[in-house]
Each structure stands twice: as C-alpha cells, then as structure tokens.
Amino acid sequence: MMQLQNFIGGQLVAPAAGRYLPLVEPATGQVFAQVPDSDAADVDAAVQAAEVALPAWRALPAEERGRLLVRLAELIEQNLDRLARAESQDNGKPLSLARTLDIPRAASNFAFFGTAAQHFSSEAHVQEGVAVNYTVRHPLGVVACISPWNLPLYLFTWKIAPALAAGCCVVAKPSEVTPYTAFLLSGLAQEAGLPAGVLNIVHGTGPGAGQALIEHPGIRAISFTGGTRTGQHIARSAAPQFKKLSLELGGKNPNLVFADCDLTEAVRTSIRSSFANQGQICLCGSRIFVERPVYEQFKAEFLAQVQALTVGDPLLETTRQGALVSEAHLQKVLSYIDLAHQEGGRLLTGGHRVQVPGRCADGFFLEPTVFEGLAPDCRVNQEEIFGPVVTLTPFDTEEEALHWANGTDYGLSATIWTRDLTRAHRVAHQLHAGVVWVNTWLHRDLRTPFGGMKNSGVGREGGLEALRFFTEPQNVCVKL
C-alpha cells in the first residue's frame, strides 16, 4: 500500500512516531494509501527547518523567488493528468473537474504570485522640507498554511504561493482527508529546485498536527481555510501569542434571480453554482431566491437540468456528480435532508443515496437534491450543509430578497441575476458578502480581494492583499 510522507527540510520523511492514518477513496469506499499521523515532534522539525532556510530565502531578490515559483507552476502543468487523477481519487470529484479547475488553478496560483512579488511595492510619505517616511514590508518569517478537503491542491497552493513570494518560509498542513496532491507537490518542489526548508509539508489531523502547528511559538502567522467552528478555535489558540490570522471560513450563499434576467443563463449557471464539486465549494449558492413572476419557469427548467446530471464514477467523462468526500460527510448531508422534511420542506428532486454499480458500489454518492417551501430562517436555510442540497424560495420585492439573503450569520459570496444594471449595483452594495457575482459565478480574477464578512472569515486573501498579509510594514522616518 502506498505510504505518503512528510516533506521536511527538502526531504521526504516518515512521521517521527511512525503512526499513519488510512486514506479512503470516496468513489469506492476502499483504503488506497496511508497518510502520516504527525505530531508535535514532526511540526517542530518542520518549523526548525523553515527557520534555518529563512535568512537566505528572504534575502533572495523577489525576481529569483518568483522564478522558482513559476518553475513549480510549469511542473504542475506538465503533471496535469497525474495530479488530476490523484485529486479525483482522493476527493471523489469528477476527473474532468480536477483537470479543468483544480489543477490548472494550482498552477496559476504559483505563476500569479511568482510574478506578483515583482509588482509589489510600498509607499513613501514626503513632508516637503521636513522629513520623508518610507515603508519597508518585511516578510513575517515562518508561517503556517492550513487548508480543507474540498479543493485540495487549489486552496493549499493559494496560501503557500503568496507566502513564499513574500519571502516567508512555510509549514503547511493539508486536510488529512485529502492529502494526496499535497504529497505529490513535495516531489515537484524538489524538482523545481526550491531550497530545502523553504516549504515544509506536515500531514496529520487537526487536533494532532494542526493544533501543534498553530500553537508553535515559531509560527508568526496562520492562513487558514476551513470551517467556521475550527476558525473560532484557531483564533482562540493563536490570540495569546499575537499571531497574525487570515481566516477563510464557511458560507451559506444566496443566489438572487430577478424576473428581468436572462433566465436560460441563470438556470444553466445556477446548476453549476448549486452542484459543482457535489456542492462542496464554499462559494456554492445553496439558497436560491427567485422573483415570483418567473419562479415556476425557473423551477421547471432547473429541475429538468438537475435530473439530467449524471451521478457516477468520477473517472468517467460523462459523470457530472462524483462522490461526497467521506461516509461521515455523506451522513451529515443526509441528516440535513431528513431535517428539511421535518421542517416542512417539499422535496422536488433527489434526496437519496445512490448505488453506483461496479467498482463504485461502496462509494459515497448522493442525488443532487432540491427542496422548496422552507422558511428562510429554518435551520436548513441557516446552517452550512456543504453538499448537493439547495432550496428554492419565491420573493416579491427587492427588499424581501435582500432581507433573506442577508439573514444568516455568514457572508461569503452572493450571486445576482438581472439585466438592470442600476439594480445590480444597488443590490450588490447592500449584500453582506465579501464577493458578489452579477450574471456569473466563480469567475475569479486572482488580483481581487477574496474573503468573507461576518462568520465567513477575517481578512482578505488574493492579489496584493495576500502579500500584505504575509509581510509586516515598518515606517522609517528620515529628517530632511
């Protein structure tokens, strides 16, 4: 059986205590590898390796750091098929999605930040004849990057790339549920010639390796993407040591469909925004509010397309819905389907586990599921389900739609469908969401600030925001 290893000081190494966790392929339910169950000793070794590498790495010109990151991007592109297969096997997502979204984006993350560091500059404030102030942005030092299971390599590299570009050294922990591509990245980092210790990857559980990492006194900042509850816990642990925090957390995103929109496009894209990656994207729009005059038409066209989504073996080109990430997660999503029935929802389609024949007979498959008739303040419409379950609700006025859209503890993203440009801006500005899409979804420009309001997070990543996060400004004042 394949045994993954940690990546510490430029070497692939076994966990100090020799403990491993089983890694399950969601599409088959079978164990296919073992992943290190690392502990504080492994984390400490990784932080020490990063500290040793730091002086030379931060002293390298940004251009040279960038060249290595661009090289890593090229290697990811060259290994597209291998990485996409690994991601699909590890996570259950359709291979076609991993090949067109996850892995290309991982390459873009390194290419983007590899060059962005050269465009990063700091300010000068001149007081004529009196003094000149300039700002130096120092790399923070050794930082932690912790990522979730839904977009494994995509989100892992989204954090690592800007940290390295800014001159920090990294100890990164991927999700223990989907560590395979992070392990493969270790080999590519070696091949790219990244100096030993600049990037360290420690595998293991949240309470084990994760907790040791966030508590380690050598870690100056934590960039975390994951659940809101874990984010709260990390904030509590990190606060006494004054660690800088970037927290990208959960969402319960609204999708507002106004009657004047291009309905064909709204339906087509809402299928993606509801069910892409089996609904396991933090930006998925799980609460669909439709203006009453087009509600029945939207519903009919939407349901027809939902029923045409093929659930099956992620390796098949025809598959649109792969497996959910684990049996435990499938059970959690099924419990919300039960709750939707209890809360008075009408099931319009889906709602059941799917038995896929052949090699996937023991996989974690679920029908894409749509409910209507649920109150906007019920639990199903308030809590993050993070699966292929959406609700449809008609609305009568813009105010009502905004009130419901904003009526959760979350504030990550929102989508608006309308042809009225004035309304689009007006509604966008009133939505409590860090990202608002108008007539599109998951359109990402890596230069834009990314992050959530309210319980969806603290801080922004993306573009120069990420480089600012991983650096500390210093004011130097010179008397003229």
What are the residues binding ligand NAD (CB under 6 A)? 146-150, 155, 173, 175-176, 205-207, 210-211, 214, 225-227, 230, 233-234, 248-251, 282, 384, 386, 412, 452, 457
- Computed over its alpha carbons, how large is the radius of gyration of the chain? 23
Residue 175 C-beta: closest distance to ligand NAD, Å: 4
What distance in Å separates the CA atoms of residue 3 and residue 366, rounded to the nearest whole number? 30
What does the block give as tokens for 118?
């050269």
What distance in Å separates the CA atoms of residue 339 and residue 387, rounded to the nearest whole number? 14
What distance in Å separates the CA atoms of residue 49 and residue 201, rounded to the nearest whole number? 11
Residue 155 C-beta: closest distance to ligand NAD, Å: 6
Residue 25 C-beta: closest distance to ligand NAD, Å: 17
Residue 359 C-beta: closest distance to ligand NAD, Å: 26
Minimum CB distance to ligand NAD smaller for 351 or for 387: 387
Amino acid at 396: D
What distance in Å separates the CA atoms of residue 388 and residue 348, rounded to the nearest whole number? 13
- The strand pairing partners of 124, in sequence order, are 134
Contact between 30 and 362 (Cβ < 8 Å): yes
Would the CA dihedral through 336, 339, 341, 344 be positive or negative? Answer: negative
Report the DSSP pairing between strands 285-291 and 389-395.
parallel
Minimum CB distance to ligand NAD smaller for 249 or for 348: 249
Residue 183 C-beta: closest distance to ligand NAD, Å: 14
Minimum CB distance to ligand NAD smaller for 108 or for 225: 225
Minimum CB distance to ligand NAD smaller for 88 or for 147: 147
Residue 438 C-beta: closest distance to ligand NAD, Å: 20
* Contacts of range 378-381, beta carbons closer than 8 Å, 24 or more positions apart: 378/343, 378/344, 379/339, 379/343, 380/336, 380/339, 380/340, 380/343, 380/345, 381/252, 381/287, 381/408
Give the containing element (helix H, strand E) for 7: strand 6-8
Contact between 23 and 59 (Cβ < 8 Å): no
Minimum CB distance to ligand NAD smaller for 323 or for 424: 323
What distance in Å separates the CA atoms of residue 336 and residue 315, rounded to the nearest whole number? 28
Minimum CB distance to ligand NAD smaller for 206 or for 376: 206
Minimum CB distance to ligand NAD smaller for 57 or for 113: 113
Residue 373 C-beta: closest distance to ligand NAD, Å: 25
Q: Which of 25, 248, 367, 461 is catalytic?
A: 248
Residue facing ligand NAD at closest CB distance: 206
- Dihedral over alpha carbons 438, 441, 446, 450 (to 10 degrees): 80
What distance in Å separates the CA atoms of residue 276 and residue 412, rounded to the nearest whole number? 17
Interacting residues of 128 by C-beta distance below 8 A, sequence separation 6+: none
Residue 247 C-beta: closest distance to ligand NAD, Å: 8
Minimum CB distance to ligand NAD smaller for 68 or for 390: 390
What distance in Å separates the CA atoms of residue 114 and residue 120, rounded to the nearest whole number? 11
* CA of residue 420 relative to chain centroid, distance: 31
What distance in Å separates the CA atoms of residue 166 and residue 162, rounded to the nearest whole number? 6
Residues constituting the chain: 480
Minimum CB distance to ligand NAD smaller for 34 or for 205: 205
Q: At what angle do helices 152-165 and 180-192 cross, to 10 degrees?
A: 40
Residue 326 C-beta: closest distance to ligand NAD, Å: 9
What distance in Å separates the CA atoms of residue 263 and residue 307, rounded to the nearest whole number? 18
Sheet hosting strand 30-36, strand order edge to edge: 2-3, 30-36, 20-25
Give yes or no: 367 in active site: no
Catalytic positions = 248
